[in-house]
Amino acid sequence: MRIVVGITGASGAVIAKRFLEILKNLKIETDLLITDEGKAVIKNEIVNEALEEIENLATKIFNINDFSADIASGSNCHGKNKREAIVIIPCSMNTVAKIASGISDNLILRVCDVMLKENKKVIVVPRECPLNYNHLENLLKLKRLNVIIIPPVLTFYHEPKTIKDMVDFVIGKILDNLDIKHNLIKRWKNFK
């Protein structure tokens, strides 16, 4: 299995880093794409060295403007170059709006376009709070395109003790939607 991971300029770089760590531990290959804004957020939210740490977790790194990359073509979605999905984590509302409008002006957006036309999974982890009308409309457009939307919401029934526990819950939901087995989260049960 091979997953494309896109990191955009929304808050939540720690979620992306942990997601890549887990995929690497599960021996799942990853192609990494990071926008310039995403790089700035990584440096701001974690530390300057984090960008290199994050890049070292990926199998392959692509330049965000390299439209000649093999992942920019639907003919490379099959066979030995097969990518199962793209996960944009975190996903800015700018990226959400562009996907919803069919704009492909960077490699993350082009890969989304390819995945959608090839009926592959597209998962976005949108980061914005509160949401305005345009955000909601664009997310609805994505849902109509069969994009899986997994906001990093707080949950408490699994009794989190740390921020990592909360991050792992979100990642568990992503892995569930990718049909990847894991034991990151405590499953819901009847608490009566």
In this predicted structure, which of 3-12, 41-50, 51-60, 169-178 has the lowest mean pLDDT?
A: 41-50
Which CATH superfamily is 2-177 part of? Flavin prenyltransferase-like (3.40.50.1950)
Domain ranges of the chain: 2-177
150-162 pLDDT, tens digit each? 999 988 888 899 9
Whole-angstrom CA distances from 115 to 85, 128, 131 are 7, 24, 26
Predicted structure pTM score: 0.94
